[in-house]
Structure 1
Amino acid sequence: MATTIPIYLEVGQKRVFASALDWPGWTRAGKDDKLAMAALLAYLPRYGIVPKTARIDFPTAAQFKVVERVTGNATTDFGAPGIPASSDTKALSAAEAERICALLAASWKVFDRVISKAPAELHKGPRGGGRDRDKIADHIIDAESAYTPKLGLKLRTPKRDDAAAVAATRNAILDAIRASAGGPQGGEKRWPPRYVARRMAWHVLDHAWEIEDRST
């Protein structure tokens, strides 16, 4: 029997993102609602590696319930989710914060495994574009460093080959999410921690899957 998964749709002028509210990183896009949800369902097996890594039970079959539609912005149409769900601002329990952290940490582990196995030069797209492996890894680190102020953090951007610094940055992000439990979810110039985790996990997994696809 298929498990019902609550999702929200972020609707831009050019594309729609469908995101599973309770599964950070399980977010896919399409040109309309149906295509976005079809893409989300198609990625169920691929995303399933994340909860497996986190040792969290995950359904093998799913159906979706759209619980909210939000209006997208320029970020949406550019190709990235850009709007939190209204439920992201609800109180966050310690248990939920820990679960979110486990899934975000698992997303990083999946990305690191993909990077470790990928060739330095990846197949180019049909127009000859696309970053190679190390450029993608640098891009992920730069983007996550740009996200950290949204959690109230001020951190230096680590170098890709400085494993200790990368780990310290990731741990600081997880600690900030845990510390938000029971407190305000977001605020001026900040994102709700649920949304930070969803955005970060989506970004790292989107590029992990890109690397896998361009390695074969």
Structure 2
Amino acid sequence: MYFRLLHDEASGAMSYLLADLDAREAVLVDPRGADVAVLRAMLAEHRLRLRWVLRTHAHDAALPEAERLALATLDAPWVQGRPLPDGSLTFGGEVVRTLATPGHTAHCLSFLWRDRLFCGGLLAVDACPFQPRPAVPEALWDSVTREVFTLPAETLLFCGHARASRAVSQVHEQRRTHPWFAGAGRDEFLARVAALPPA
């Protein structure tokens, strides 16, 4: 197993590389176009074949054309917007489960690998620089409370943006302390989101 994260200080964007070193296969989660050269070097260093590119969410309209073009050079199937029919994918001897977790944007996905969930901007609510309020608040509540908070308490949560926040937390911690979900009911959550300034 090989795991690396990349953090862009300017935007707060987080990207992740997961690999099975024995099988020489890897996946990327939320890669940035600006990191493609570095990611290619990391893959080459370990002689890894890129098996999948996984996107938890996408703000493609906000990306510069150069970044979109750089991402397009990644030579592997993309999983974005809709989960795979059987709900999982493999690379080497590893398995990643895809979870439909809409709300932050209309078609968000989360990816569960071992004890780690890559959930993009799902828990950001009002803190994503590209999406300052949820696209579908009702779906976001359901995604967090039914898909994320029902995972084992020790599951690690890896976010898509970490500017003034931590890159990783645990389900147990977020259940107890999340400023939008902990101790709140669905109606209270939706009322608070409705009171946010327009995007």
- Common fold, TM-score beyond 0.5? no
Higher strand share: 2
Greater relative CO, 1 or 2 (CA 8 Å, sep 6+): 1
Higher helix share: 1
TM-score by length of 1: 0.29
TM-score by length of 2: 0.30
